Amino acid sequence: MESLEDFRRRARAWIEANLERRDPRRPLRTREENAALQAKLFDAGFTGFAVPKEYAGQGLSLDHQAVWVEEAGDYVTPQGYQVSIGMMMPTLLDLATEAVKKRHIPRMLRGEELFMQLLSEPSGGSDMAGALTRATKRGDSYFISGSKMWSSGALNAHYGLCLARVNWDVPKHAGLGMFVLPLKAKGVTIQGIRPATGEEAHFCIEYFDDVEIPAEYVLGGECEGWASAQRLLFHERNAVAGIGFGLGYQTSGERQAGGGWRADLVSLARKHQVLHDPALAAQIADNHIDSVVGGQLSARVNTGLVSGKLKGQWGSLVKLNQGLDLPGNAELGLSVAGADGVIWSGNAPGGETTNTWLRYRGNTIAGGSNEIQRNIVSERLLGLPREPADDRDVPFNELMKRRQQRQS
């Protein structure tokens, strides 16, 4: 395997010769521009660092990916692949059949195919195991019917990893399957959900009407959907936290050591002439300390996962930290901006501080809510007793009968 030092020299030379330096004044790139840049990186051998060569990866390590991120930090790199490459790709790498891995992972790494997840449902909330979307087997295929909601990027994606119920006569966690569902197939209807910021719809609701899935597109096994979903969420929480396969794939903004994107509170305070307000200055200093500590936490967890010293859901600890820190950073931004942060007119500049606050509310939910992360940290990392649940061993069809009785 190529040494980290040799790789760093090679990556630095290529980056300086082929990538543009970041310019905050430049408009965000289009999907087409990002796709072309992703293909350029793939063709040059700078994607899929820890992916085996048989799936068009580099056969290196996550340490090499970390080196790449360090060297490319001041340059323009593709955006919009955090979910597909940072979360879904390693899930396929862990669970998909050989045929599916060889067919799709190269296309994912090159940016030709976008994958996303189909987990939440309109009736489910955080109870992912209570999925009502059904998968019925006929011959050598499964047919999916139902709906999913709050799915990121479904309008532009090609495939989704869909959790669906295969068996209704066993407890809810035991009767699930995970399927690679083609989003452009017959029987799929997708509607965007317009966000409060007024921006382009990113979250979606999907409807499935007898969508056919070949048996080779089942991940893990017919009734192994819950275990497959946990593996997907492991990679999702790592990616959101900016560690593991997701390192370097965060969305655009001011990148910090912890992998998140934060408001520059010092510049904001200078702009609004409150930089020397002692109360705000103390809060800004505390927020900066949180950022530094968060970066150290991310680096420590990433090193532990790569080395094998840390095993399990440590990404949830980093995810919880970001779910508290980033909204706190955005809320402090509102305090710094004052009325100018929430009042503006027409096409005049303004409102970005409020929009940032609205966007970062999603950090408390995406990848599992802060409450779910607290459960994971307490139960799986600290070894505390599980949260009580009286439905864990009850057949799912019996749970449905109880629900209907309560509603009537």
Tens of pLDDT, residues 97-150? 999 999 999 999 999 999 999 998 988 767 888 899 999 999 999 999 999 998
pLDDT confidence tier of residue 259, bands split at 50, 70 and 90 = very low
pLDDT confidence tier of residue 346, bands split at 50, 70 and 90 = low
CB 75 within 8 A of CB 22: yes
Which pLDDT value is given to residue 348?
64
Q: In terms of pLDDT, which residue wins out, 50 or 251? A: 50
The two beta strands, 115-118 and 141-152, are unpaired
The angle subtended at Cα 146 by Cα 140 and Cα 147, nearest 5°, is 130
The angle subtended at Cα 295 by Cα 293 and Cα 299, nearest 5°, is 115
Mean pLDDT of 214-233: 93
CATH architecture of 4-110: Orthogonal Bundle (1.10)
Where exactly does CATH 2.40.110.10 map onto the chain?
A: 115-231
141: enclosing H helix or E strand: strand 141-152
Which pLDDT value is given to residue 189?
97
Give 146-214 as a DSSP string: EEEEEEETTTT-SEEEEEEES-SSSBTTTSEEEEEEETTSTTEEEEEE--TT-----EEEEEEEEEEEE
Q: Is 28 left (phi over 0), alpha (psi -120 to 50) or beta?
A: beta
pLDDT confidence tier of residue 349, bands split at 50, 70 and 90 = low
* Phi, psi values for residue 351, rounded to 5°: 90, -10
* Cα–Cα distances in angstroms (integers) from residue 76 to residues 135, 149, 249, 263, in the given order: 42, 32, 12, 19
The angle subtended at Cα 215 by Cα 209 and Cα 219, nearest 5°, is 95
Where exactly does CATH 1.10.540.10 map onto the chain?
A: 4-110
Mean pLDDT of 346-354: 71
Radius of gyration over every alpha carbon of the chain, rounded to an integer in angstroms: 22
CB 374 within 8 A of CB 382: no
Which pLDDT value is given to residue 311?
79
Mean pLDDT of 247-263: 53
CB 163 within 8 A of CB 225: yes
| Beta carbons within 8 Å of 138's beta carbon, 6+ residues apart | none
Residues β-bridged to residue 73:
none
Where exactly does CATH 1.20.140.10 map onto the chain?
A: 253-381
Which of these, 288, 370, 271, lies nearest to 332 by C-alpha position? 288
The identity of residue 367, as a single letter, is G
Q: In terms of pLDDT, which residue wins out, 344 or 370? A: 370
Which pLDDT value is given to residue 261?
53
Residue 81 clears pLDDT 60, i.e. is over it = yes
Q: What SS3 class is residue 137?
A: strand
Q: In terms of pLDDT, which residue wins out, 154 or 390? A: 154
Please give the share of the chain, as a percent, with pLDDT higher than 70: 94
Which pLDDT value is given to residue 253?
38
The identity of residue 235, as a single letter, is H
Top-tier CATH class for 115-231: mainly beta
CB 119 within 8 A of CB 148: yes
- Looking at the whole model, is its pTM more than 0.85? no
Residue 92 clears pLDDT 90, i.e. is over it = yes
Lowest mean pLDDT among 22-26, 41-45, 85-89, 233-237: 22-26
Which of these, 135, 132, 165, lies nearest to 149 by C-alpha position? 132
117: enclosing H helix or E strand: strand 115-118
CA atoms within 13 A on the CB side of 227: 10
Q: What SS3 class is residue 52?
A: coil
Mean model confidence pLDDT for the chain: 88
Residue 257: CB atoms within 10 Å? 16
Q: For residue range 321-339, list pLDDT tens digits in order.
A: 888 888 888 889 988 988 8
Which pLDDT value is given to residue 227?
94
Domain 253-381 sits in which CATH superfamily?
Answer: Butyryl-CoA Dehydrogenase, subunit A, domain 3 (1.20.140.10)
The angle subtended at Cα 62 by Cα 247 and Cα 323, nearest 5°, is 30
Which pLDDT value is given to residue 347?
65
Residue 64 clears pLDDT 90, i.e. is over it = yes
Q: In terms of pLDDT, which residue wins out, 60 or 347? A: 60
Which pLDDT value is given to residue 249?
82
Q: In terms of pLDDT, which residue wins out, 250 or 44? A: 44
67: enclosing H helix or E strand: helix 62-72
Which pLDDT value is given to residue 256?
36
Q: For residue range 266-317, list pLDDT tens digits in order.
A: 888 988 889 889 999 999 999 999 888 988 888 888 788 777 788 778 888 8
Please give the share of the chain, as a percent, with pLDDT higher than 90: 49
Q: What SS3 class is residue 276?
A: coil
Mean pLDDT of 393-406: 85
Q: For residue range 10-57, list pLDDT tens digits in order.
A: 999 999 999 999 887 777 788 899 999 999 999 999 999 999 999 999
CB 196 within 8 A of CB 327: no
Query: Can you say whether the dihedral through the CA atoms of 120, 121, 125, 128 is positive or negative?
Result: negative
